[in-house]
Amino acid sequence: MKIKLLDNYMEFDSPLKGYEIASKISPSLAKASIAMSLDNKLVDMSTLVDKDSEVRFITSKDKEAFEILNHSTAHLMAEAIKELYQDVSFGVGPAIEEGFYYDFEIAGKKLSEEAFPIIEKKMLELSKKAEIISRKEVSKEEALALFKNDPYKTELINELPENETISIYSQGDYMDLCRGPHVPKTSYIKHFKLLSIAGAYWRGDSKRPQLERIYGVSFFSDEELQNHLNILEERKKRDHKKIGKDLGLFMFSEYGPGLPFWLPKGYTLRRTLEDFWLDYHRKNGYLVVNTPIMLNRQLWETSGHWDHYKDDMFVVEVEDGTYAIKPMNCPGAIQIYNNSLHSYKELPLRYAELGNVHRYEASGALNGLFRVRGFTQDDAHTLLTEEQVGDEVSRIIGIYDYIYSVFGLNYSIELSTRPDDFIGTIEVWDEAEKALEKACLATGHEFKINPGDGAFYGPKLDFKLRDSMNRIWQCGTVQLDMQLPGRFNCVYIAQDGTKKTPVMIHRACFGSLERFIGIITENYAGAFPLWLSPYQVEIIPVSLDNHLDYAKEVEAKLNLNKIRTDLDASEEKLGYKIRQAQVQKIPYSIVLGDKEKENGTVTYRKYGEQNQVTVSLDEFIDMLKKDIEALK
């Protein structure tokens, strides 16, 4: 049996388990390895290798290790909960981007964060037992017998095919339905923290039971854990809801849950973002349109949204029928396309819209600007020929590269494939998925497959942004649609004179303006870059009696040069005014006294800095203009 290890080969006379192979290489490697990659598939160290294979051992230094450790920690938490409480049923407990969670239900009891120290103590006790985590394969019938008292596990098992191989993981008296892999022993799990608890509907369905979900995180060292907890504390300080209130950006009212009100400073921020978006899209060949917020039910039935989305739509009955407030902009864009006959020479036709949409989100899911019921999608819908798809998707990715770079946001891409409730044929879906894959690779971007998470009308590329706090956000999307244009009888005159159905690309870069503003508010901790800041300059006269008139002159000239200003003409002391400018995180504050008034100068200080600089007013304006252009 020949085993490939990186660039080397080793030969063995008989089948060996993973930890046996590692031991023959090095005892220290065997001790450090928590799992292995066997022919590019992650498996447990106890897996038997019985044929020529490629093996890579996973240690704490490998990127896969964090997920494996956190998945194992989810099991350890479930074991602790089962020992501490009676009649517990478990849902699912996966590893996630920054840790793990487990969904569970305790008969007649609800937990709170007060239970966390008790659960963590029990987890440490179980960890110290160093129980071996072992895998066993069983039949569907055996699995049903093992989990007969757990309705949620039973439901999952019943959905598996009859001939499916089902794996069970055990540690001590605890067992779980799981594909794995896991760390070899519970003793590998030492540095963890339970973070929060929330309600979670079983399988994400609000009509199903609501389980409890505990989130946590686990690391291989206490130093890593403490660093992460420090980051979480910093994130709390950056909460966009708090910053939005402190800076006077937006508010909510009990008369419209999930419907944000934009205050003057917040609207300035939002409008500046919109202007940036509009200007860039017009320069890149997009035709800006606007479509009605409410349209007849027949349109939504034709598009397929009624069957797939009606529970999330706000519906209104009027004398000429049933209308729905739009949850998406795409059917409106199609109506604009169908307003006239088009030739292949016009394609691609790119329609861009800052479209206000509404979706009925459960009240418990609402979260500041991140989860709202009314929001503005920075939408664009491009109609084009099949041959143009690759170039157009590559072009869109280039646009995203630029826009995200302006905000200092890196991203990764996921290709979301055909869901269960798709419309159209499998053949067309396969073709669409391949087209997106090819276009993505052509731009030099790697991507990860996200199976079954495409829109009901087509596959999509999802852009996952990473902010300054190392969080991942789903924002941009590129969706390839070979269904809706046909449903609405969209055509173009082809080169041979025949009528053909165009392809449609749905795309949004910010995703929603509201959510994106929430993201960048936390990313910048409220200290927005100069070009985006609601107020760019705070004007502070030393004395209202002697310097207010000059301050108003400076204000007028700055406004004339389209620099947004705030003049503090309050009776407060100078020191207080200067501190307030810093609290409000205004990029520049200028202090105007006798010297400035006499010489026609300004003394400025940048936010977060102590040194003060005196320059002429014209020099100050030129400097700001250059900074604004450079920052975009």
Please name which of 102, 60, 131, 90 lies closest in space to residue 194, comparing C-alpha atoms. 102
Residue 179 and residue 153: Cα distance in Å, rounded?
Answer: 13
CA 261 from chain centre, in angstroms, equals 23
Give the E-state strand segments of 314-373 in sequence order.
315-318, 321-325, 349-358
8 Å CB contact between 417 and 449: yes
- In the residue annotation, 445 being an active-site residue is answered as no
Residue 421 and residue 428: Cα distance in Å, rounded?
Answer: 15
CA distances from residue 9 to 5, 21, 438, 626 in whole angstroms, order as listed: 6, 12, 34, 59
- Among candidate residues 182, 418, 460, 597, the one labeled active-site is 460
- Among candidate residues 176, 379, 481, 568, the one labeled active-site is 379
8 Å CB contact between 460 and 416: yes
- Among candidate residues 213, 381, 585, 605, the one labeled active-site is 381
State the maximum Cα–Cα separation within the chain, in Å, rounded to a whole number.
96
CA 226 from chain centre, in angstroms, equals 24
- Among candidate residues 122, 228, 506, 515, the one labeled active-site is 506
Please name which of 450, 357, 443, 441 lies closest in space to residue 400, comparing C-alpha atoms. 443
- In the residue annotation, 330 being an active-site residue is answered as yes
- In the residue annotation, 359 being an active-site residue is answered as yes
Q: Which residues contact 455 (CB under 8 A, 6 or more apart)?
A: 416, 419, 479, 481, 506
Residue 364 and residue 197: Cα distance in Å, rounded?
Answer: 13
8 Å CB contact between 214 and 193: no
Q: 598: which 2 tokens? A: 């006499």
CA 206 from chain centre, in angstroms, equals 22
- In the residue annotation, 377 being an active-site residue is answered as yes
- Among candidate residues 182, 270, 359, 585, the one labeled active-site is 359
8 Å CB contact between 147 and 177: yes
Q: Residue type at 14?
A: S
- Among candidate residues 171, 377, 536, 584, the one labeled active-site is 377
Q: 64: which 2 tokens? A: 């896969």
Residue 608 carries which DSSP code?
Answer: T
CA distances from residue 109 to 46, 82, 106 in whole angstroms, order as listed: 38, 13, 5
Cis check: omega of the bond before 184, within 30 degrees of 0: no
- Among candidate residues 330, 440, 475, 490, the one labeled active-site is 330
Residue 125 and residue 191: Cα distance in Å, rounded?
Answer: 13
Please name which of 534, 532, 476, 539 lies closest in space to residue 262, comparing C-alpha atoms. 534
Residue 160 and residue 168: Cα distance in Å, rounded?
Answer: 14
Is 596 strand, coil or helix?
helix
Q: Which residues contact 569 (CB under 8 A, 6 or more apart)?
A: 541, 544, 548, 551
- In the residue annotation, 379 being an active-site residue is answered as yes
207 φ, ψ to 5°? -90, -5
Q: 277: which 2 tokens? A: 């978006």
DSSP string, 210-244: EEEEEEEEEESSHHHHHHHHHHHHHHHHT-HHHHH
Residue 451 and residue 31: Cα distance in Å, rounded?
Answer: 35
Residue 449 and residue 412: Cα distance in Å, rounded?
Answer: 12
What amino acid positions are annotated as catalytic residues?
A: 330, 359, 377, 379, 381, 460, 506
